[in-house]
Copies of this chain bind each other. A is one copy, B any other.
Amino acid sequence: MARPAQPLLNRDLIRDTALAIIDRHGLVGLTMRRLAEKLGVQAASLYTHYPTKEDVLDAVANLLVAQVDTSGFEHGWREGLRTWGRSYLGALAAHPNAVPLIASGTGRRDTFLAMANAVHGGLTGAGWPPRVATTISGAVKYLVIGAASTPFASGFADDVQVYLDRYPHLTQAHRLRSDAERIDQESFELGLSCLIRGLEPGPG
């Protein structure tokens, strides 16, 4: 066909399809050939729209981070941190296979900077000195990235019996996979609430 009358591809379509493949088959399951196949096209065609696979992955990472809500700072730094942290974790937890893209991200991507800028502005606007604002936002980010990266559910899953006798302390709490999601939630909320409480009474 060579050049079609109507373009078959565009950047958003490629990015969204890439995310769908990552969700279904994992990060390793995403190859340029498979991505092209799903789009009914040859792998080489993708390079008309993205210079490298890395750029496709950057686009996916930006898509996820763009959904993060930083509007909570309008209601104060406590609500701002809570809203930001929860929506950030929510955006990542919705696509667990894509989390490594964000976790080891360089921070050079547009939406990352926009998010960092909004958070930093929210904290300094509430009166926190810039240096402290950076430290605070770092701590929340660590909780989010940590919670999204190693959800409790990912370990201790299948062959529980194997280590039940070797690691006696783990038997109680780690047995049920059904508890994992609640544990993840509780650990993150514990960290977040302790951090906010530890920052009282606020700046100044």
Contacts and interface: CB of A to CB of B under 8 A. Distances in A.
B152 A138 contact: yes
A163 B155 CA distance: 39
Contacts of A168: 117, 121
Contact of A117 (B106, B143, B169, B193): B169
Given A99-B104, A149-B103, A195 B190 contact: yes
Contacts of A190: 135-136, 138-139, 195, 198
B197 A156 contact: no
Given A117-B170, A198-B194, A145 B150 contact: yes
Copies in the assembly, this chain: 2
A173 B139 contact: no
Given A121-B169, A134-B183, A100 B104 contact: yes
Interface of A: 99-100, 103-108, 112-114, 116-118, 120-121, 124, 130-131, 133-139, 141-147, 149-150, 152, 154-157, 159, 163, 166-170, 172-174, 183-184, 186-188, 190-191, 193-195, 197-199
